[in-house]
A and B are shown apart, each in its own frame.
Chain A
């Protein structure tokens, strides 16, 4: 049997051509069955992503969902800073650490990021991480405030520390 030659062999074409060869008289006579399994040509399985039906080559990547609510004013302030990407990353790292530390102390915080502006020096602007805790956890959170900051600000760049206010509020 004559196997048609494909100009651009694909995985499925190669498999089909191999099976056609094996089933052909030439194939039957060939000592393919004598070849140990591990040496036999591998069956090439075409692997397509499930989203191929939508015409996409790869699974769509879900963009990161913001963990913390960030006010529009804070977003604008952050984006105007030098090395804003690193500054933003640091703010998220601090927030993550605060959250982990408080959860470890059985306190469920809600963390958000807003903008601090001093009422007397209006050019004094900083990002403000607001830790909101339950009424009954308020005094306890204040009691561990120093330790909380020691942990959360460790290894954070001075440039970031100079532009962040962290305050505790009640729900």
Chain B
């Protein structure tokens, strides 16, 4: 079995979320841990949204990617896109594409929420002037988990 396949079996979107919750449960109170919890929670949601759209809304996902590409795709890229090839998808800003796909399928609220959690994750990883306390981070992670569960059953 290939190394990648083993990793696919080990890691899941839920495990990212569990990691965030574990950090909060540890009550370490360290801001760097709290910031990590936000980041892990966001990525659990990101991967779940990607999984849901790939599995159930693949045509909408492909259409959104096609419209956002500013240049004409090569034959090879077209083939990669139509099969939603992982390597090809990595070359695309999926953080932007996923909310657009949610909006396309009529899930406006989920689309805007996902973008907001992206903003939160950016703040957690880039904005050192902000302070994150345990109470607020618990609020964020709970909200992200709610959306995670909703996206999972879309």
Q: Using a CB–CB distance below 8 Å, which chain A residues touch chain B?
A: 116, 118-121, 124, 126, 128, 138-139, 142, 145-146, 149-150, 153, 156, 158, 161-162, 164-168, 170
Contacts and interface: CB of A to CB of B under 8 A. Distances in A.
B146 interface: yes
Interface in B94-128: 95-96, 99-100, 103-104, 108-109, 111-113, 115-116, 118-120, 122, 126
B89 interface: no
A120 B42 CA distance: 15
Interface stretch (B5-13, B51-59, B75-83, B135-143): B135-143
B108 A165 contact: no
A165 B108 CA distance: 11
A56 B37 CA distance: 64
Main secondary structure of the interface of B (DSSP, over half): helix
A137 to B, nearest CB: 12
Interface of B: 93, 95-96, 99-100, 103-104, 108-109, 111-113, 115-116, 118-120, 122, 126, 135-136, 139-140, 142-143, 146-147
B139 A142 contact: yes
Contacts of A138: 136, 139
Contact of A165 (B116, B126, B139, B142): B116
B150 to A, nearest CB: 8
Main secondary structure of the interface of A (DSSP, over half): mixed
Contacts of B135: 139
Contacts of B96: 118, 121, 124
A121 B111 CA distance: 18
8 nearest CB pairs, A to B: A149-B109, A153-B108, A121-B93, A165-B115, A142-B139, A161-B108, A119-B126, A161-B103
A164 B120 CA distance: 15
Given A116-B119, A121-B93, A162 B103 contact: yes
Given A116-B119, A119-B122, A138-B139, A166 B104 contact: no
B113 A146 contact: yes
A128 B119 CA distance: 10
B118 A118 contact: yes
A166 B112 contact: yes
Contacts of B112: 149, 153, 161, 164-166
A98 B139 CA distance: 20
Contact of B104 (A116, A119, A124, A158): A158
A161 B104 CA distance: 10
